[in-house]
C-alpha cells in the first residue's frame, strides 16, 4: 500500500489561479452550495456534491494505480490471480459499469486488504484471498469495492474537502496569488479524495451504501449475498482477537453496519 508520504509525492492535478477563475466563472467551483454543483447519482438515489471533474479523477487514478503497481510485489500465483479475475469480472459486469477498464491485481502480501480506485482498478492482497473461504466471500469484497466506485464516494469526499478548503479561505488565498504555490494546496485537496479506501476510512454513510449496492451486485452475479454477513463477521472477529485486518481500517465495521446489512438482505429476500 502507498504510504501517506508516497501518496503526497505523487504528481497531482493542478488547479491554478486560471482554472479556479474559470471554475468560478462557470459556476463549477463556487458557490457550490447554491448552484448546480450537486449531481444526482441514480445508483444511490441522492444528489452529491461534485466539484472535481471526471478528467481530473481519471488522471489521479491512473497515477495512483501506476505508483501502487510499482511499489507492491505482484503475485505470480495463477490460482489466486484467476480467482480475482473470475470473481471481479463477474461483479464488474453485474454492476453495469462497462465504461471502466476493470483490472484486478493480486499483491503478494500477508495484508488482509483490498481497495479500489475510481477508474475500476482493484488491488487485492494475498492475505485477503487466504481468508475468504469461497468465491462468494471474495464477491462480497469485490461487490463492496465496486459499489464505492458506483457511489462516486472518493470524488464526493474530495469535493467535500475542497468545499471545506473554500470555507476556510483557500479560495481567497488562491485568488490573491498569481503564482503556482497555491496549486499545491489544491492538488492536496483533490488527491485527498483518492486516499479514501486506500489510506483513510470511508464514512458510515458510504459504508452503508457500499454494503447495500454490493450485495445487489453479488445477487445479480449469482453469488450468495448471505455470505457477506459471514465475511464481515469474520473480519470483526479477527479485530476482536487483536488482529485487526487492514480492510477494516479503511472500511470500518460495527454492529450498526451489520444490522443494516442484515436488514437489507431481508428486505431483498436474500436471507
Least separation in angstroms between CB 101 and Zn ion: 22
Tell me how far apart the alpha carbons of residues 104 and 54 are, in angstroms, rounded to a whole number: 21
Applying CB under 5 A, does 122 fall inside the site for Zn ion?
A: no
Question: Could you tell me how many residues of this chain bind Zn ion (CB under 5 A)?
Answer: 4
**Which is nearer to Zn ion, 188 or 252 (by Cβ)?**
252
Mask 210-239, x = binds Zn ion (CB under 5 A)? x-----------------------------
The nearer residue to Zn ion, 186 or 202, going by C-beta atoms, is 202
Cβ-proximal residues to 84 (8 Å cutoff; 6+ apart), any chain: 104, 105, 106, 122, 124, 129, 138
The torsion region of residue 88 among left (phi > 0), alpha (psi -120 to 50) and beta comes to: alpha
Q: Which one of 145, 156, 207, 209 is the catalytic residue? A: 145
Shortest distance, position 29 Cβ to Zn ion, whole Å: 28
Q: What DSSP designation does 200 have?
A: B
Nearer to Zn ion, 202 or 223 (CB): 202
Name the residue nearer to Zn ion (CB basis): 58 or 208. Answer: 208
Residues 6+ apart with CB under 8 A from 225: 215, 216, 218, 219, 265, 268, 270, 271
CB 162 within 8 A of CB 28: no
Near Zn ion by CB under 5 A, which window of 1-9, 67-75, 122-130, 206-214? 206-214
Specify whether 145 is catalytic.
yes
Q: Does 251 bind Zn ion (CB under 5 A)?
A: yes
H or E segment and range at residue 146: helix 135-150
β-strands 103-107, 121-125: how paired? parallel
Q: Please report, as ranges, the residues that interact with Zn ion according to CB under 5 A.
A: 202, 207, 210, 251
Amino acid at each position: 500500500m502507498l504510504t501517506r508520504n508516497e501518496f503526497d509525492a505523487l504528481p497531482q492535478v493542478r488547479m491554478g489561479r486560471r482554472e479556479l477563475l474559470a471554475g468560478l466563472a462557470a459556476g463549477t467551483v463556487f458557490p457550490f452550495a447554491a448552484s448546480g454543483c450537486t449531481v444526482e447519482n441514480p445508483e444511490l438515489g441522492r444528489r452529491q456534491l461534485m466539484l472535481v471533474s471526471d478528467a481530473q479523477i481519471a488522471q489521479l487514478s491512473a497515477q495512483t494505480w501506476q505508483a501502487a503497481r510499482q511499489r507492491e510485489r505482484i503475485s505470480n500465483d495463477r490460482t489466486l490471480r484467476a480467482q480475482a479475475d473470475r470473481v471481479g469480472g463477474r461483479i464488474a459486469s453485474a454492476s453495469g459499469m462497462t465504461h471502466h477498464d476493470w483490472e484486478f491485481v493480486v499483491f503478494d502480501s500477508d495484508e488482509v486488504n483490498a481497495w479500489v480506485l475510481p477508474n475500476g482498478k482493484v488491488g487485492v492482497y494475498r492475505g485477503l484471498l487466504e481468508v475468504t473461504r469461497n468465491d462468494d466471500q471474495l464477491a462480497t469484497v469485490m461487490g463492496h469495492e465496486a459499489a464505492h466506485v458506483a457511489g462516486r464516494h472518493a470524488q464526493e469526499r474530495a469535493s467535500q474537502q475542497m468545499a471545506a478548503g473554500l470555507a476556510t479561505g483557500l479560495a481567497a488565498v488562491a485568488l490573491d496569488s498569481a503564482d503556482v504555490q497555491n496549486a499545491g494546496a489544491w492538488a492536496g485537496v483533490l488527491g485527498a479524495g483518492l486516499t479514501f479506501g486506500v489510506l483513510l476510512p470511508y464514512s458510515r454513510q458510504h459504508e452503508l451504501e457500499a454494503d447495500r449496492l454490493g450485495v445487489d451486485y453479488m445477487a445479480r452475479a449469482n453469488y450468495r449475498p448471505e455470505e457477506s454477513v459471514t465475511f464481515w463477521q469474520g473480519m470483526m472477529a479477527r479485530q476482536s482477537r487483536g488482529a485487526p485486518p487492514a480492510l477494516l481500517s479503511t472500511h470500518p465495521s460495527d454492529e450498526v453496519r451489520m444490522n443494516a446489512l442484515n436488514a437489507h438482505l431481508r428486505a431483498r429476500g436474500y436471507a
